[in-house]
Amino acid sequence: MGISLKTTFGAVVAAGALALSDSAYASALAQFKTFVASTKSARGEFTQRQVKKTESSKVSQPASGNFVFARPGKFIWTYVKPYEQQLQADGDQLYIYDKDLNQVTVKKLGDALGSSPAAILFGSNDLEKNFTLSEAGTRDGLEWLNATPKAKDTAFEQISIGLRNGTPEAMELRDAFGQTSLLAFQKFEKNPNLGGQQFKFVVPKGADVFNSN
């Protein structure tokens, strides 16, 4: 499990709802602000690939899984293939569970999010506090938005979000080591009826727990 996989999430934009008469033609920034203002929870599936920028760019074996989130700061991001791992946040703590190792790592959620990709999908509505946002044009049928972290000590140099009809369909996460993580979202359901207790993490029987708070 690479570090970039573990840090691939996040949430959040300066709210400011815009009523879009035709979101298919709206700018990425307008679509994203509307998405954040109107989407308090969501669930869906994802696939993830990593590309290393070399002379012969290599693409890693794709990972896939599912996610569910409720703002602010509650989410479950589950890798199903090629290995099982779960990242779960209850609004205060982040739990990273590796099933193969039967090991749980606990971190304070605020420290784990910060200027990470997690602050984009799962966080509060103050994205512009941590990111500089800019339009990135149209590509692959999506309207793209760039989010550049304002902090200098983050794992990612730039995060790009591709939207269609007011819903994120793709993210590209570029780190300082020349690697790009590509995420695609499927079956994205906005505002499902979620039970608050499902975000309470229960330590699996016999698991080793490491607290890094």
Nearest Cα residue to 113 out of 133, 84, 87, 135: 87
DSSP one-letter code for 55: T
Whether 18 shows a pLDDT value over 60: the answer reads no
Q: Are 21 and 31 in contact (CB under 8 A)?
A: no
pLDDT score of 54: 61
Assess whether the previous peptide bond of 82 is cis (omega < 30° from 0): yes
Average pLDDT of span 96-118 = 83
Q: What's the rounded Cα separation, in Å, for the pair 24 and 141?
A: 10
pTM beyond cutoff 0.75: yes
Whether 124 shows a pLDDT value over 80: the answer reads no
Other Cβ atoms within 10 Å of 180 Cβ, number:
20
Q: Which residues of 141-159 are buried (b: 16+ CB within 10 A; e: fewer)?
A: ebbbbbbbbeeeebbbebb
Whether 13 shows a pLDDT value over 80: the answer reads no
Q: Are 48 and 8 in contact (CB under 8 A)?
A: yes
Contact residues for 167 (Cβ-Cβ < 8 A; gap 6+): 35, 185, 188, 190
Nearest Cα residue to 119 out of 85, 75, 162: 75
* Torsion angle defined by CA atoms of residues 10, 159, 190 and 12, in that order, rounded to the nearest 10 degrees: 50
Other Cβ atoms within 10 Å of 137 Cβ, number:
11
CATH topology of domain 3-211: outer membrane lipoprotein receptor (LolB), chain A (2.50.20)
Q: What's the rounded Cα separation, in Å, for the pair 17 and 201?
A: 33
Whether 3 shows a pLDDT value over 70: the answer reads no
Q: Are 182 and 79 in contact (CB under 8 A)?
A: no
| 205 token code pair | 């029987």
Residue length of the chain: 213
Whether 112 shows a pLDDT value over 60: the answer reads yes
Long-range contacts of 15-18 (CB under 8 A, 24+ apart): 15/125
State how far the alpha carbon of 194 is from the alpha carbons of 52, 123, 197, in Å: 37, 17, 9
Confidence grade of residue 97 (pLDDT, cut at 50, 70, 90): very high
pLDDT score of 68: 93
Confidence grade of residue 195 (pLDDT, cut at 50, 70, 90): confident
Q: Are 185 and 172 in contact (CB under 8 A)?
A: no
Range in 84-88, 128-132, 157-161 the model is least confident about: 128-132
